[in-house]
Amino acid sequence: MTAQHHPNFLRLLRNPVRFRLYLLSRLPSAFFAGLRIGEADDVGCSVSVPFKWFTRNPFRSTYFACLSMAAEMSTGILAMAAVYKRKPAVSMLVVGLSANFHKKATGRTVFVCVDGPAIREAIAASIATGEARQVKARSVGSNSNGEIVAEFFITWSFKAKTPAT
């Protein structure tokens, strides 16, 4: 593990009350949509989005923006864990997004991203060079039958912050 605070961040996420309060204060749309973290570790993260009144569209499926929110969170948690209390601090920003939709989302959809190592490598490269680095993280959403509903590619940019002089 390259970041010594990584386990502390993941421990915070696993506390359901703290995580829900974090969502309510920082990501209220995710809170009201009912996003939940399934598992999170060094390698991957799963985030689910339910099919309910708040997340549905007029076509009786989950609205693509809610699917996108869960997919982005599955990649973003890995990024946030890698930059949590990092010295030097590292900024992170979504700079690209693309998606492929394969099946109508009519139930709970679980997005899984397993690009933790690639994210940590990009952050380490940014710290080593002082230049921004990008990584394209893949998040795959599946329904309860294991069928792929959607596939998202979130491009993150990481840049080590220079100390103020």
Does the domain at 6-160 match CATH 3.10.129.10? Answer given as yes
Q: Please tell me the predicted confidence (pLDDT) of residue 16.
A: 82
pLDDT per residue over 68-123, tens digit each? 999 999 999 999 999 988 888 999 999 999 999 999 999 999 999 999 999 999 99
Q: Please tell me the predicted confidence (pLDDT) of residue 4.
A: 61
Q: Please tell me the predicted confidence (pLDDT) of residue 11.
A: 79
3-state helix/strand/coil string of 92-108: EEEEEEEEEECCCCCCC
Please check the confidence at residue 165 and state whether its pLDDT lies above 50: no
Alpha-helix residue ranges (DSSP H) falling in 28-147: 28-33, 64-83, 116-129
Quick one: which of 69, 49, 71 has its CA closest to 61?
49
Across-strand partners of 100?
A: 151
pLDDT per residue over 16-75, tens digit each? 888 888 889 999 999 999 999 999 888 999 999 999 999 999 999 999 999 999 999 999
